[in-house]
Structure 1
């Protein structure tokens, strides 16, 4: 819409000066219609983002392709590009397990995780102090996962052979403190 300044002769001030009014004039080429259905059916031109308006169509197509997801049909193996030497990848076995509960007073903290642990490699002993050393960077590495499936996928991506060690649970028998003092032959200590 454009604004036009119109001089009104009907509005005169006391000083006999002319007053100015501002009126809006439509500059579009559309025909005015009183029918609401016709106005609702009219389509507006699509708005373009200002940064995309001046680039060529090839660049627009390239940006559109970059926003999508890349699908990989082959299994993902990152070991060739990870930079880890081959001797740490090829003959490596990984144990996937649930660590036992800490015997301190931590209760049930950190017991629902899965860890991976690497097999031990050659070690040598320091003759002076008796300490053992290794050149293996994975010897003390422990990585935690939320479930065993994540750990399996991680091992397969890195090209490691893995085996799953399930947690063995014992059936706990209900016991009470009064059993220690029950009067039967099995628990009673003889004084003779």
Structure 2
């Protein structure tokens, strides 16, 4: 059985990085999601799609997957590009050539 191990991205609506320090393990979906024609909800018979486990380190997630015979696909986080900006840069003169 396949699982995906990744570090969640920062919420685009907030400036803080809460919730991005842990590793998350999710199971790959095995069943197709189908709409309920009466209520309009989307559902599936696959209950593993609701499981989301969090680990402090990548090694803990790998150990859990190995212990339970799971095939882990690991997605390493991308490095952040920090652009240092100051308020004065908004008013700086920039010569157009």
**Number of residues paired by the alignment?**
95
**CA offset at residue 133 of structure 1?**
0.6
Alignment-derived partner of residue 24 in structure 2: 115
> Which of 64, 68, 72 lines up with 1:158 in the alignment?
68
Alignment-derived partner of residue 88 in structure 2: 178
What TM-score do you get using the length of structure 1 for normalisation?
0.44
Trace 1:29-178 onto structure 2 (pairs within 5 A).
Answer: 92-103=1-12, 107-120=16-29, 121-178=31-88
Indicate the RMSD between aligned Cα atoms, in angstroms. Answer: 2.1
Structure 1 unaligned regions, length at least 5: 1-91, 187-192
- CA distance in 2 between counterparts of 1:180 and 1:130 reads 49
**CA offset at residue 130 of structure 1?**
2.2
Q: What secondary structure does 2:59 align onto? A: helix
- CA distance in 2 between counterparts of 1:122 and 1:182 reads 55
Runs of 4+ in 1 over 4 A off after TM superposition: 103-106
